[in-house]
Structure 1
Amino acid sequence: MAILKTILTVIFIIISLALTVIILMQEGKSAGLGAISGAADTYWGKNKGRSMEGMLVKITRVLVVLFVVIAAVLNIGSF
């Protein structure tokens, strides 16, 4: 049981670091003054799901779910 807890802890730390890096790589949600004139409706704005930004959002969601699940498992296993 101790080996499983150690493995989960290492995976938890790796996910934490990856999540921090991926969140810092993402652009801010505010479009600045360009949103006033409609400059936000560019090709990349419309196809955000297929861009690098869209991929980072999807990876972030997966890592957050894994983070919460592993945190719960490690918390339950601490008894």
Structure 2
Amino acid sequence: MSALLIVMQVIYVLIGLALIWIILLQESKSAGLGAIGGAAESYWGKNKARSLEGTFERYTKIGAFIFILLALFLNILM
């Protein structure tokens, strides 16, 4: 049981570091002055899910979900 706990804690720390890294790579959500004239919504904005930003957003959601589940699991084991 002790080895399993250590392995899970290492995975927990690695997922936490990966989440920090992915979040820091994302662009900010502020549209700036382009939002005043309606220039914020473009073809690029509509197809964001297929872009690198969309991929980072999806990985952030998945990583956060795994991080929370692992935190609950580690709490039960301790």
The size of the alignment, in residue pairs, is: 78
Quote the offset at 1:29 in angstroms.
1.3
Quote the offset at 1:27 in angstroms.
1.2
Structure 1 runs (4+) greater than 6 angstroms displaced = none
Quote the offset at 1:41 in angstroms.
2.0
TM-score using structure 2 length: 0.94
Cα shift readout 1:23-68 (whole Å, capped 9, x = no counterpart): 1111111101111112212221110010000000100000000000
Identical-residue share of aligned pairs (%): 51
Q: 1: CA distance between counterparts of 2:43 and 2:4? A: 47
Q: Structure 2: state its 5+ residue gaps.
A: none
Matched AA of 2:30: S
Q: Structure 1: state its 5+ residue gaps.
A: none
